[in-house]
Structure 1
Amino acid sequence: MITSKQRSYLRGLANKIQPIFQIGKSDIEKAFIKQVDDALKARELIKITVLETSDYTAREASDLLCRKLNCEGIQAIGRKFVLYRKSKDNAKIELPV
């Protein structure tokens, strides 16, 4: 579990990154979950956009992916959300204590 100070720090980092995935009309499927999992392993912090055609809100999609991938939902604003998971092998982001 991360603290509010760490969450705030990660939100600041997330402001500078572009979304790397979009969730559209189709359901969140295994292949998409695998791609997000791989991206979290490589980057630790990712941003995802939920298209208007999606059945999910940003918060719903974030919560679903967090349950499946054991990651943290950092922020959900409008149609974008940010996920974080510390990499076991290749940690890049140093969280404040």
Structure 2
Amino acid sequence: MLTLTIAHRRELKARAHALHPVVMIGKTGLSVNVIEELDRGLASHELIKVKAQIDDRIARNALFEEICRQLDAAPVQHIGKVFVIYRPKPEEIDKKPVHAPNKKKREPFRTKRSFQN
């Protein structure tokens, strides 16, 4: 499970304020499909909201910790039945653009005044 600094957590809370829940967890709890959907959401968005339909507060806390542990994510916020989870995207070295070889710079255009002399 990742740990966040207070300043980073505050920034993530501010970013998550406008988000809508991506995954809804039913009363049956975690399943393989729910974990896979959470993993896909974190892979594409890196910061997601999750809503749990479980009424028991202690069970929700355990669920939140279990999700973060299984997905190697950081718990950002837990308010009522809504969780905010963060996992940074892995650096994609392969997709970085390759620089083109040295190109000639074009000459600047002549201005109107340069023709008058």
Band of TM-score, shorter chain: 0.7 to 0.9
In 2: Cα distance, 1:5 partner to 1:60 partner: 25
* Kept in 2: contact 1:26–1:54 (CA 8 A): no
Greater RCO, CA 8 A, separation 6+: 1
Q: Which structure 2 residue ranges, 5 or more long, are not aligned?
A: 93-117
Please give the TM-score of this superposition, normalised by the length of structure 1.
0.83
Q: Give the % identical residues.
A: 28
Cα distance in 1 for partners of 2:19, 2:29 equals: 25
| Cα distance in 2 for residues equivalent to 1:41 and 1:10 | 16
- Matched residues in 1 for 2:56 and 2:84: separation? 17
Match of 2:62 among 38, 60, 67: 60
- What stretches of structure 1 of length at least 5 have no aligned partner? 91-97
RMSD of equivalent CA atoms:
1.8
Q: Could you tell me whether the CA contact under 8 Å between 1:46 and 1:84 is conserved in 2?
A: yes
Displaced runs of 4 or more, over 3 A: 52-56
Taking the TM superposition and a 5 Å limit, the aligned residue runs for 1:1-97 are 1-52=3-54, 56-57=59-60, 59-89=61-91
Larger radius of gyration: 2
Length-normalised TM-score, structure 2: 0.69
Deviation, 1:50, is: 1.1
- Contact 1:10 1:74 (8 Å CA) reproduced: yes
